[in-house]
Amino acid sequence: MRTAHQLIVIVLFDQVDLLDVTGPPEVFHLARRETEEAAAYDVVLAAETMDPVVTAAGVRVLPDVTFGDLVARSIDTVIVPGAVEVDGDHRVHPLVDPALVRRVRELADRTRRVASVCVGAHILAAAGLLDGKRATTHWSTARQLAADHPAVAVDADPIFIRQGNVWTGAGISACLDLSLALIADDLGEAVALRVARQLVMYLKRPSGQSQFSVPLEQVSTTRRIEDLRHYVLRHIAEPLTVAQLAAHAHISDRQLTRIFKNELGTTPHAYIESVRVEHARNQLESTDATLERIAAACGFGTLDTLVRAFRRRLDTTPTEYRRRFRTAPE
């Protein structure tokens, strides 16, 4: 657990995404409020000059220091946010300024760890900091990152990835998850969880948590379907059936199927399986429970059913999924 003075530098440049810049300082501020051990966090915004920086949202942000001011200072963490431009065909392209890449490379040479937020991964990659490493970025630019930098093993699924002293985070709001992970690395899981509660985040998502989860993909608009979804969550370990859900909602099996199709664009059976897979993923990421126990706890009944569901929905096996995401920091 680190408690010594820790200077955290957030790189600032024109057209940067605003939340990428403001999210991490808020998380580190809450950590300082939650524990005296985090009082040593000193977060600064660094830019080429002291002139105001215009973010993509049009909000002007004032730097605290210039890159030149940091030459004589000991840096613990450098966080590189991202910026994009959208062309006439509505395609998203990351902004990668060669001068900024050189600055990031210089900073990285004398810092304990480097992290990128969202498409900031493209800047780290251009600086050569991701070569031979697995990395993530916003899903919309993952293919371009892989095409532009073949030496980088791009994985668009996780919320964040740690490879030694280099961390990469997924899209935009994942800057909060990444910052929480950095705090957990410094001060322990208990502190990070207290900060997550202050942020009113549903949970502190582990690195393997997908950018696309069941709650994000499927949004309902009626109380009836919300009640059914909560019922599924409460009874996930049980052998749920269409008849059981229909009886709970006081409707016919046919009405239930029609409601799921209209509201969630899927069938009751497929929805239940997706929730079970989501629960199994969380357990594979965060526990050492056996596959048999996870299969039972998530309502799959048998290990074979769990394996088939993972192959169908994730094109992998539970064992491979755990190997990728349930790993000790390198």
What amino acid is encoded at 104 in this protein? V
Distance from chain centroid for Cα 216? 13
Residues 6+ apart with CB under 8 A from 52: 60, 61, 62
What is the 3-state secondary structure of 86-124?
A: ECCCCCEEECCCHHHHHHHHHHHCCEEEEEECCCHHHHH
CA distance 299 to 72: 57
Distance from chain centroid for Cα 225? 27
Active-site annotation holds for 298: no
Four-point Cα dihedral 131, 132, 133, 136, nearest 10: 60
Identify whether the C-beta of residue 104 lies closer than 8 Å to the C-beta of residue 48. Answer: no
Record the tokens describing residue 20, joined without a space.
């990428």
DSSP-derived 3-state class of residue 10: strand
Identify whether the C-beta of residue 292 lies closer than 8 Å to the C-beta of residue 269. Answer: no
Buried b (16+ CB within 10 A) or exposed e, 255-281: ebbebbeebbeeebeebbbbbbbbbbb
CA distance 324 to 19: 29
Residue 318 to residues 209, 245, 270, 312, 324: CA-CA distances in angstroms?
14, 28, 18, 12, 10
Instruction: Find the catalytic residue in 45, 61, 118, 152.
Output: 118
Q: Active-site residues: which are they?
A: 118
